[in-house]
Amino acid sequence: MSLADDWGKHGVTVNCLAPGWFRTDQNKVLYENKEWFEYLGDRIPIKRPGQPQDLDAAVVFLAAESSRYVTGQTLLVDGGISTGATRALVSSGPDKPAKST
């Protein structure tokens, strides 16, 4: 069972907003690494990490009456990074371990 199943009979929709790479206090050390930041930007199809306002329309949509038939879904707001692969750390080379500077 899912929350969408549990709450649907009460007219409540349950969805998930899944943001991609957004700078936060938790990951700010990664954004301070220029090499990693360039690596990340190169892998996001729109070529930049998310900004808080990039979530606005998705939140409004999920809260609006126009999404009343949308439930049990995960809405990715990730600039398209989910279309390919990425890693969180920058590799030092093909035979060297990743570093987290």
Residue extents of the structural domains in the chain:
3-79
- Size of the chain in residues: 101
Average pLDDT over every residue of 77-93? 76
- State the amino acid at position 59 in one-letter form: V
Residue 78: predicted pLDDT: 97
Tokens matching residue 58: 């998705």
For 27-48, what is each residue's pLDDT tens digit?
Answer: 999 999 999 999 999 999 999 9
Residue 22: predicted pLDDT: 97
User: Homologous superfamily of 3-79 in CATH?
Assistant: NAD(P)-binding Rossmann-like Domain (3.40.50.720)
Residue 84: predicted pLDDT: 80
